[in-house]
Amino acid sequence: MHLQLVPWLAAATLCATLCSSSTLGTTSEADKIASLPGQPKVSFGQYAGYVTVDEKQQRALFYYFAEAEADPASKPLVLWLNGGPGCSSIGAGAFCEHGPFKPSGDVLLKNDYSWNKEANMLYLESPAGVGFSYSVNTSYYSSVDDKMTARDNLAFLRNWFEKFPEYKERDLFITGESYAGHYVPQLALLIVQSKLFNLKGIAIGNPLLEFNTDFNSRAEFFWSHGLISDATYESFNTMCNYSQIRRQAQSGTLTPVCSRVNSEANRQISKFIDTYDVTLDVCLSTVSSQSAVLNKLQQTEKIDVCVEDKTLKYLNRKEVQEALHARLVGISSWTVCSYVLKYEYQNLEIPTISILGELVKSGIQVLVYSGDQDSAIPLLGTRTLVNNLAKQLGLNTTVPYRVWFEESQVAGWTQVYGDKLSYATIRGASHEAPFSQPERSLVLFSSFLGGRPLPEGLMSESAVETNKIIGDQS
């Protein structure tokens, strides 16, 4: 899966069309989904449609909302944001990761580890220009930045609550991954400052928090996982590091030295490795009717590595778009990551780790987690940033670094600082952790919402002894 931190094609010429007045309606009933094509029968409510965030510019954001499977009135509201910047929370989060369904051919399969088992899940395509979201004034697309995105996301929530007033006083959590390491904290801070809504916490996975630390941890990750040689690792440390390469590539000023280091690393890693999960098979999309399936990390779990391709086909079906109350405004097809949006890439270098500190001080729960097989935003940098933040805030470690369990297996490691800040890894997980480790991710999500420590789940004494004996035979 290649959903985050990827550059896209140059903006196409748009032919904007006006949205009908029904699309801009203010009642939730107009957005209710009778049934999605090919979906199994379910008892929970689904809604999708548009929320206008700027009447003058005719800018509207598209959402998909899946109420909790059981007793939605007692469950919190969770907003999910994917990153990019410029990638779809519906195409990635909802249909590839933790939504109620996943496409398979012409039908939707029930996701046994959907996050709407624990919460009312709201997926937002943001900013305008992403997915089905649009701006009739297409000049908006030419230079979008973090501040604009945060303001529109706040306007979306204010107006969405007008459609769904029954959720206005509900506990609110904001979650996301990758470049949502910018989106989520910035939106949360606006909410705290404006004293709007009942924000309880945020959770961000493999997030971009600080440009140099996050990108420079890649070389050590590649080297420690055997993907690059000792000599190439030394080149990253002495000649040109990954933050320099990324910065130069974005500005079109890649130096010969950095180009050589990058090329040699790419040769050694090879094009057959998914850098968002270095253990994951890649989708053989060029081979007709074949799907590479991962069945290595869990004996009981099969991961469809071609689900993004299937989502792309599903969301471009006319009857699917009609069921979702979606339309293509100024674009010819729905895409996972936008080809019309020109995001201000300089914003990648704005650190957001300090915003997490502001949120912790304001009493907001903050969980940062890492899929530990991701080399795009590796756990090495993220863990260092959270540790340093805790020291800056003067927070004592309340839960020392330890394993946590999903049933009888180690699901990752965790550490808690004070009573508001926590860090966790998800063992065997990718950049999009719920995609490759859905069951473990659901346990993490459930514990976070419930304010519970991650399960300690110790093995039996006999299992421990057996494990020691096996380990001693090396």
Tokens of 90: 């519906």
Question: CB–CB of 192/199 below 8 Å?
Answer: yes
- Look at residue 124 in the predicted model and tell me its pLDDT: 98
Cα first-last separation, the chain: 36
Alpha-carbon span 439 to 91, nearest angstrom? 20
CATH number at residue 348: 3.40.50.1820
- Look at residue 13 in the predicted model and tell me its pLDDT: 23
Residue 253 lies in a domain: no
Tokens of 8: 């896209």
Residue 213 lies in a domain: yes
Point out the residues that are catalytic.
Answer: 178, 374, 431
In the three-class reduction of DSSP (H, G, I as helix; E, B as strand; rest coil), residue 352 is classed as coil
Alpha-carbon span 79 to 65, nearest angstrom? 9
For 298-321, give one letter per residue: b (16+ CB within 10 A) or e.
beebebbbbbbbbbbebbeeeebb
Q: Read off the pLDDT of residues 288-316 as tens digits, 9 standing for 90 and up.
A: 222 222 233 333 346 777 888 899 999 99
Residue 194 lies in a domain: yes
- Look at residue 26 in the predicted model and tell me its pLDDT: 58
Q: Which residues contact 260 (CB under 8 A, 6 or more apart)?
A: none
* Tally of structural domains, the chain: 1
In the three-class reduction of DSSP (H, G, I as helix; E, B as strand; rest coil), residue 128 is classed as coil
What is the mean pLDDT, run by run of 10 residues, along the chain of 474 residues?
35 28 59 96 97 95 98 97 96 96 94 98 98 96 96 98 96 98 98 96 98 97 97 97 94 95 96 89 49 31 78 96 97 95 95 98 98 97 98 98 95 98 97 96 98 80 45 48
In the chain, what percentage of residues exceed pLDDT 70?
87
- Look at residue 25 in the predicted model and tell me its pLDDT: 43
Phi/psi at 199 (nearest 5 deg)?
Answer: -70, 125
- Look at residue 286 in the predicted model and tell me its pLDDT: 37
The domain of 110 spans 1-227+273-474
Tokens of 218: 């890649």
Question: CB–CB of 131/334 below 8 Å?
Answer: yes
Rg (CA), the chain: 22
Residue 163 lies in a domain: yes
Question: How buried is residue 107: exposed, middle or buried, by Cβ count under 10 Å (0-12/13-18/19+)?
Answer: middle
Q: Read off the pLDDT of residues 132-185 as tens digits, 9 standing for 90 and up.
A: 999 999 999 999 999 999 999 999 999 999 999 999 999 999 999 999 999 999
Phi/psi at 7 (nearest 5 deg)?
Answer: -70, 155
Residue 357 lies in a domain: yes
Helices (H), 38-177: 146-163
- Look at residue 280 in the predicted model and tell me its pLDDT: 81
Residue 232 lies in a domain: no
Question: CB–CB of 121/322 below 8 Å?
Answer: no
Residue 65 lies in a domain: yes
Residue 295 lies in a domain: yes
